[in-house]
Chain A
Amino acid sequence: MNKLAKEITNTAGAVRARIQRKRKPTLSFPLRSLRNVSYHPRKGFFELRGKKKTRTLTVATVKTFAQTLRMMSTARGLVEDDEIMTKREAYYVSKNWDDARFDEQPESDTVIDDIEALFQVNREQLGFIPEEKGGEIAGKLVVIDRETDTGKELRIDCTKFGSGAYSIPISVEHLKFETKAKFILAIETAGMFQRLVKHGYWRKANCILVSMGGVPTRACRRFIRRLADELKLPVYAFVDCDPYGMFNIYRTLKVGSGNAAHINRYFCAPKATFLGVTPQDIVDYKLPTHPLKDVDIKRAKDALKNDPFVRHYKPWQDAIQQLLDMGVRAEQQAFAVHDLNYVINNYLPEKLASPARFLP
């Protein structure tokens, strides 16, 4: 029996043993939130601190408790049979559970995340896979995959997608890479990615382009991480200049999230640095701006106060303060005000001239 299946069985056994001793059974999970993570610059990612929440079986928790156990049983089946199930499918499977079924998918997702944290593994190891798309790649990279039916080696040249791109698969552990690129550029919006691909920027700058499409998915983060580790390439993030771009997208890419703190060690790219757009860029490049929204201000202040990553880096605190003082935000596409290809011809080359000045 596989190790994970055994762990699940042991946990179930402990629950049963407590019931047999006429005690209320308990399950204890690491507390998944920003308040329970710490940042180690040497390790480079958010790590869980000791805090745990214990879910004791009571009248109030009996429903979630039952759902958690049934989902555990489902996971164990998946692990044993080496089967996979999307989170949406897991939600539909629960419809067999009469009163214990889930009414909405977010409920089942939370329970899956709980189980993941309980066993300190990622959900893919439990057999649960997400629906979400992993991100797109273009540039000087050869991905070595296998054919799903024959297992024959498959070399995918990411320069050969023309105006399209290579999609990062949901599981990236089995992939191997070959490249001669100098760096990885992780881009927030698909629009900007398209512009760079169309004009063959990767050829010009000798790099690999990654479209994250908002907050990078786990697969995307893992993919960038493996590229960075195995090919020893630097990672530069190019996102909007607003608190969302800085802390939801960039920070998650670099050190992981509070919610997935138990798996951050695999799912982040600690080597990433922040190319832009920085608040100073708004000034230097005279970018058109929008006023900060209330949620932006709240998010920025919250980051200053609670985010262990921000609290560790003085340059970030200064940048946020500058942004708050200016009271504005700017998007990647704002460079179009000067010229449609101003980004390619001026901004990126100028920034890439001195990567040492990127925000950490």
Chain B
Amino acid sequence: MAKKSKKRAKSKTRTGQKVTKPKRSTTSKRGKAKSAPKPAAKTVAKKAPPRSATAEDMASRQREISVAEFFTKNRHLLGFDNPRKALLTTIKEGVDNSLDACEEGGILPDIKVTIAPGTADDRFRVTIEDNGPGIVKAQIPRVFAKLLYGSKFHRLKMSRGQQGIGISAAGMYGQLTTGKPVVISSKTSRNRPAHHYELEIDTQKNEPRILVDDAIEWPVERGTRVEIELEAKYQKGRQSVEEYLEQTAIANPHVSLEFVTPNGETLHYKRAAKQLPVETREIKPHPYGVELGMLIKMLHDTKATTLQSFLHSDFSRISMRVAKQICEQAKLYERARPSRIARQEADNLFQAINQTKIMNPPTDCLSPIGEELILAGLKKQIEADFYTAVTRPPAVYRGNPFQIEAGLTYGGSLSAEGLARVLRYANRVPLLYQQAACATTRSVLTTGWRNYALQQSAGALPSGPLVIMVHMASVWVPFTSESKEAIAHYPEIIKESRLALQECGRRLSVFLRRRRKAAESERKKAYVQKYIPHIAIALREMLKLSDRQEKTLVSQLTDVLERSRS
């Protein structure tokens, strides 16, 4: 969906696309997006169903829908199903953007989230403020008030944001429910004043409408502040803002978070590590992960002049030699112009790619949290008796490199009642909704925790004072929907997660067995201590010993029995 939407956003300016009724948009839009290059065929295909409406009648009702309109109607796709979730999604999008920006700018993130009561009972003013590199003035309106506008979609690079929908969708939701504009201040350097904007989104055109454009004094070095008023519901507990921030703090120990609740309380999630995540490299797509439509588009858009050099330069892991091999396999002339490769030939090329053996994609594009920092994050937020973390070596699904990490804590302040708590992350972002639909949940469920001295009912999570964390790092995380709530069930992902969890489990079982043994011997010791004095008393009575001799006997006996341990 996401990929298609992007194409749509790009082509929107070129071609006017038409659909019968906006209402039906979901399905028709899918088909439409794919066939974007030739919209004419679409209208013709639309046969008049029953009754008396003629093709002309219907044509009069057929008009373009903008992405913004589409998402206004389908806000649940982006995570704005209800007021409670809308609040969380808004904060999540803001914080994700801030973190991405800070890390790309090499700045240790200091982020402040404020939720203040809004102009009505069911409204809140959300402010997200960071110390990131700021945004240049010209880009601000489009970044914040145009859907599918951003830097992250057109590249394969590990980052939190992927699509360029999030923050503008949050702004749009706010505008829709309260009529208030999004307020942005951003400062890129100490010497310059901060830009100050108040923006609305023109949902019909998916274009920003600027209400206020100002320069203000903002006493910080640099940074960005977004303010959105929206209809929302503030609640504590599961799937709350607090939970999101806490989990963010666990997976991002280099972040310092400050949270001001609507009641005016301030919560601090302190920084536990000073090193930033390793800067990741952007990679080209791996040929195995490219679908036919994508390949055709790449063939059209490439700057390369020959098929061979196109393959070599636009994909990762294709040497000139492998490129030639592919051409031979597809029975195509290697010096052919890429843009001339017609649909039929692209099909051959696509098959040839999948028949040729190509090296796995490079993995230096991944930046896992690392075992050490996972431990630091867990220790910072969860008080427990046992912590462990495992980072798996990189693996590949559908041509996309990914890496799984797992963490596990046990005991301490955690409640012994009930099932384990599972923390899911994708590229360091906590996933709070749709736990049951997520590949990582599946891998936790299918791990045999009973082998590791834990209790687990058939088909359920293990029970006990346990928190399990699974993180997937990838250049492209396969979410099941745009609201980025669950990871799709790729067998490779489930397998890797399970391997990581099993290693955590093994370490836990060593700890648990050792602890049980210690408790056992402690109990034995106490038991023995109850009866040893009686042996000494009896011997004292029979042998007429002195008190001192009796005491010596007690200590000697204790010694003998404790040495034996049986």
Residues in B with CB closer than 8 Å to A97 are 534
Q: Judge if A15 is at the interface, Cβ distance under 8 Å.
A: yes
Q: Mark B523-566, 1 if CB is under 8 A from A, else 0.
A: 01001101110110111011101000000010011011100111
Residue pair A16, B534 in contact (C-beta under 8 Å):
no
Which residues of chain B are within 8 angstroms of A20 by Cβ–Cβ distance?
A: 553, 556
**Least Cβ–Cβ distance between B291 and chain A, in angstroms:** 68
State whether the Cβ of A304 lies closer than 8 Å to any Cβ in chain B.
Answer: no
> Which residues 66-105 of A sit at the B interface, judged by CB distance below 8 A?
66-67, 69-70, 72-73, 76-77, 97-100
Which of B530, B532, B535, B564 has most chain A Cβ within 10 Å? B535
**Complex CA–CA separation, A73 to B565 (angstroms):** 28
Q: Which of A9, A16, A62 contacts B532 (CB 8 A)?
A: A62
Query: Distance (Å) between the CB of A55 and the closest chain B CB?
Result: 12
From A12, A57, A58, A65, give the contact of B542 (CB < 8 A): A12
Separation of A22 and B541 alpha carbons in the complex (Å): 21
Contact with A along B98-122 (1 / 0, CB 8 A): 0000000000000000000000000
How many A-B pairs have beta carbons closer than 8 Å: the answer is 83
State whether A63 touches B531 (Cβ < 8 A): yes
Majority secondary structure, B binding face: helix
Q: Check A73–B531 contact: CB distance below 8 A.
A: no
Nearest Cβ on chain B to A107's Cβ, whole angstroms? 14
Partner of B556, one of A19, A62, A66: A19
Min CB distance, B536 to chain A, in Å?
9
Residue from the list B531, B538, B553, B564 in contact with A72, Cβ < 8 A: B538
CB distance from A353 to the nearest CB of B (A): 59
Q: How far, in Å, is B527 (CB) from chain A's closest CB?
A: 7
- B527/A70 in contact, CB under 8 A: no
Q: A19 to B558, alpha carbons, bound, how many Å?
A: 10
**In which size bucket is the chain A interface?**
20 to 34
The answer to whether A70 and B561 have CB atoms under 8 Å apart is no
Bound CA–CA A98/B537 (angstroms): 12
Contact B528 A59 (CB under 8 A): yes
CB of A100 within 8 A of CB of B561, answer no
A69 contacts which chain B residues (CB < 8 A)? 534-535, 538-539, 542
Of chain B, the residue at the smallest CB distance from A13 is B543
Distance of A19 Cα from B560 Cα, bound (Å): 8
Q: Are B564 and A73 in contact (CB under 8 A)?
A: no
Known contacts A19-B556, A19-B557, A23-B560; A12/B528 CB under 8 A: no
Structural contact, A73 and B535, CB atoms closer than 8 A: no
Query: How far, in whole Å, are A19 and B538 apart by their CA atoms in the complex?
Result: 14
| B557 touching A73, Cβ below 8 Å | no
Give Cα A60–Cα B565 distance, bound, in whole angstroms. 10
Ordered by A's residue number, 9 sampled pairs between the chains whose C-beta atoms are within 8 Å are: A8-B542, A23-B560, A57-B557, A57-B560, A59-B527, A59-B561, A62-B528, A63-B530, A70-B537
Using a CB–CB distance below 8 Å, which chain A residues touch chain B? 8-9, 12-13, 15-16, 19-20, 22-24, 57-60, 62-63, 65-67, 69-70, 72-73, 76-77, 97-100
